[in-house]
Amino acid sequence: MNSFILSILFNICISILIIYLFHQLWEHLKNQYSIKKTVDKFNFQNDKYDKIIHKLQNEEITNKTINIQRDEENDFEKLNQELLDFCEENC
């Protein structure tokens, strides 16, 4: 009985040792022969933020330009109408 328990414990220890050795071998090979990828999450997020801000600023500038052009067109139309009204009254 005693030798049976010792045999099982010995087999368990050997199995754990073999698993550990294969794990260490795998880690060594993985670290030695693979390319490590580093992801710079901080700068990536900053770049996205900068792009969004830049896009929003460009849209704002475009909207201002369009509004200015519309205002100029409206002013021109008002001046024409006033001129026509004046001509009709005085002519």
Percent of the chain residues topping a pLDDT of 70: 92
Cα distances (angstroms) measured from residue 46 to each of 42, 55, 79: 6, 14, 49
pLDDT given for residue 13 in this prediction: 97
Is the pTM for the entire model greater than 0.95? no
